[in-house]
Structure 1
Amino acid sequence: MGRYLLRRLLQLIPVFIGTTFLIYWLVWSVPGDPFAGKCGERPCPDSYVNLMTEKFKLDQSIWVQYGNYMQNLFRGDFGQTFGGREIGDIIATSYPNTLKLALVALAIEALIGLTAGVLTGLRRNGFLDNLVLVSSLFLIALPIFVIGFVMQWVLGVQWGIIKPTVSSEMRISELIVPGFVLGSASMAYIARVARTSIAENRRADYVRTAIAKGLPMRRVVGVHLLRNSLIPVVTLLGTDLGALMGGAIVTEGIFQVNGIGRQVFRAITTKESATVVSIVVVLVLVYLVMNLLVDLLYAALDPRIRYE
């Protein structure tokens, strides 16, 4: 297991370098004047543009800029915005809010999606199975902003069950509805994947053998059937945390959550490329860490994987 973990860690290094350089190159290649609007309605004077260009080394090649950025990044320095604000402070303020929202969404989609998938996989073609299939298709077909606005208007404005917007305290009770909205599509996919996996493995020889040996159905499902059916579900859940954090722009905008989604949108509109790069680099780290955890869970669920 230790050798398997070491090999997976070494594989992350070129992936991290390649993805971060690609992100850096794409963001800094976007056309437009980064200093447009920084001096109000009038154009910025040449002295200001030259000073900022020299300060942020914008006149150097992309390789030099990327090397300086990575050198500072390994020291924990994310750089500054054109306005002089530390990007690390922006991430430290907004990142926990998005992470909290994403974890709530992940818990909701895992609980509801996996439960629905297991129940419908064990009893296919019944009323519950048809209900889950129709509901999941409905959630997949509807855009997130439609689900978000409808739930905000119905539950928050019409019925008064929830607050239409999330407060600065970010209580768990306030994040349940935004978390459901954010994870609605993934929840539907998890329910369908779990249903298919459970239904296929239920016809396997080891399940029939366990039933023939007289094992209780709860043990057959919980120990034998569920463990061997979790690998595709673990894949979706593990990689979904980064996707939820990166795709929270719409949900955070609807429910007024001060997270990295809003910060990315604000940075894009104001052409704060350094902020965009730093936030996306953090999301890349989340993806890599979650992929590593998924691989380790693979090895734990199926020991044959670690020896391949």
Structure 2
Amino acid sequence: MGFYVLRRLLQMIPVFLGTTFLIYAMVWAVPGDPFAGKCGERDCPPAYIERMRDKFNLDDPLWLQYVKYLGNVLRGDFGETSSGIQVIQQVGATFPVTLRLALVALLIEAVIGITAGVVSGLRNRGFLDSLVLVSTLFLISIPVFVTGYVVQLVFGLQLGWISPTVSTPTWGNLFVPGFVLASLSMAYVARLSRASIAENRRADYVRTALAKGLPQSRVVGVHLLRNSLIPVITFLGTDLGAFLGGAIVTEGIFNVPGVGGLVYRSVLTKDGAMVTGVVTVLVLVYLVMTLLVDLLYAVLDPRIRYD
């Protein structure tokens, strides 16, 4: 297991370098003045532009700019905006909110999606199976921003059951935005779980367990579910990274003060340092989640050995 972890960590290095270089290049190598609008309606003075270009190493070749940026990142310095604000401070203030929202969405997605998929897979071609298939198809066909606006309008403004905006990002207040964020992925998890359960329930080890007289609950909960969850765990693990980076729309609808709003404002103000720093943090989180998912394979399936 230790050798496998080391090998996976080494494999993550070129992935991290490639993705962060592409991000850096797309942010800083785009045409246009990166300091346009920084001084209001008038043009910035030449002394300010020269100081900013020296600060962000814009006179160096692109590869040298990236090497200097990567060296700072390895020391824990994710850069500084043109207004003198540390990127890591802004990320530290907003990332916990987005992480909390992503965890709520992941929990809702896992509980509802897996439960619906298991019930549908065990009741193949029954009423519950048809209900799950129709419901998930309905969720898949609706974009997340439409679901968010409908939930906010109907349950928040018209019925008054929920708060239309999140004033304080507590766990309870993030339940509705988390449900909206997880709605599309929840449908995919349900269908993936259903297909995996329906396939594995005809496997030899399930028939053997039933022939030995094991209770139905143990056969499903220990043998069938454990082996059927491997593709679902893969989807859930990568989905957490997608939630962290793709919560911009949901956070905007419910006014959640998270990373999504920070990235959106930084894009509008052409704050390249902030966009690069935030996305670099998200890349690191995504790579760590991928590693954890791979390690969970051996826990779920004893046939898998990383020797």
TM-score strictly above 0.5: yes
Letter of the 2:261 counterpart: R
Between Structure 1 and Structure 2, how many residues are aligned? 307
Q: Aligned pair 1:281/2:280, yes or no?
A: yes
Give me the CA root mean square deviation: 1.1
Mapping of residues 66-81 of structure 1, within 5 Å: 66-81=66-81
SS of corresponding position for 1:103: helix
Deviation at 1:20, TM superposition (A): 1.1
Match of 2:126 in 1: 126
Aligned mates of 2:267, 2:170 — CA distance in 1: 29
Contact 1:156 1:162 (8 Å CA) reproduced: yes
> C-alpha distance in 1, partners of 2:193/2:126?
16
Write the letter of the residue equivalent to 2:128: L
Q: Secondary structure at the match of 2:72?
A: helix
Residues of 2 paired with 1:53 and 1:30: CA distance?
A: 15
User: 2:174 aligns to what SS in structure 1?
Assistant: helix
Helix, strand or coil at the partner of 1:172: coil
Counterpart-to-counterpart distance in 1, 2:300 and 2:6? 19
SS at match of 1:116: helix
1:4/1:306 contact within 8 Å kept: no
Q: CA deviation at 1:303?
A: 3.7
Residue 216 of structure 1 pairs with residue 215 of structure 2? yes
1:248-272 C-alpha deviation (Å, 9 max, x unpaired)? 0000000001111111111111111
Q: How far has the Cα of 1:10 moved from its partner?
A: 1.6
Distance in 2 (alpha carbons) for counterparts of 1:307 and 1:47 = 58
The offset of 1:305, in angstroms, is: 3.2
Aligned equivalents of 1:13 and 1:251: distance in 2?
31
Partner of 1:29: 29
- Give 1:50 deviation, angstroms: 1.2
Tell me which residue corresponds to 1:112. Answer: 112
TM-score of the superposed pair, with normalisation by structure 2: 0.97
Q: Aligned equivalents of 1:133 and 1:31: distance in 2? A: 47
Q: Distance in 2 between matches of 1:29 and 1:299?
A: 43
Q: 2:175: which partner in 1?
A: 176
The answer to whether the Cα contact below 8 Å between 1:194 and 1:233 also exists between their aligned partners in 2 is: yes
Distance in structure 2 (CA, Å) of the matches to 1:24 and 1:47: 25
Q: Using the alignment, how far apart are the partners of 2:31 and 2:130 within structure 1? A: 50
2:51 is matched with which residue?
51
Instruction: Label 1:236 to 1:222 Cα distance change in 2 as closer, same or farther (>3 A).
Output: same
User: Is the counterpart of residue 266 in structure 1 residue 277 in structure 2?
Assistant: no
Counterpart Cα distance in 2 of 1:305 and 1:288: 21
Q: Aligned runs of 1:183-222 on 2, under 5 Å?
A: 183-222=182-221
Cα distance in 2 for residues equivalent to 1:172 and 1:42: 44
Q: CA deviation at 1:304?
A: 3.8
Aligned to 1:15: 15
Aligned sequence identity (%): 67
In the TM superposition, residue 186 of structure 1 has moved relative to its aligned partner by: 0.5
Q: Runs of 5+ in structure 2 lacking a partner?
A: none
Aligned to 2:237: 238
Match of 1:228 in 2: 227
Runs of 4+ displaced beyond 6 Å? none
Aligned position for 1:249: 248
Matched with 1:61 is: 61
Structure 2: which amino acid aligns with 1:279? V
1:133 and 1:27 map into 2 onto residues whose CA distance is 42
Conserved 8 A contact 1:113-1:188: yes
Inter-partner Cα distance in structure 1 for 2:259 and 2:99: 9
- Provide the C-alpha distance between the structure 2 equivalents of 1:241 and 1:249, rounded to a whole number of angstroms: 14
> Higher mean Cα deviation, 177-186 or 66-75?
66-75
Structure 1 residue 66, shift from structure 2 partner: 0.8
Cα deviation, residue 302, structure 1: 2.4
Distance in 2 separating the partners of 1:155 and 1:30: 43
How far apart in 2 are the matches of 1:10 and 1:40?
A: 46
- Deviations 1:141-186 (CA, angstroms, capped at 9, x unpaired): 101111000001111111111111001x312111111000001110
CA gap of 1:29–1:279, structure 2 versus 1, over 3 A, is same
- How far, CA to CA, are the matches of 1:273 and 1:171 in structure 2? 30
Partner of 1:305, secondary structure, is: coil
Structure-1 separation of matches of 2:178 and 2:8: 31
Measured in 2, the distance between the counterparts of 1:60 and 1:192 equals 51
| Distance in 2 (alpha carbons) for counterparts of 1:287 and 1:108 | 20
1:93 paired residue number: 93
Distance 2:283 2:235 in 1: 17
User: Following the alignment from structure 2 to structure 1, what is the Cα–Cα distance between the partners of residues 6 and 35?
Assistant: 45
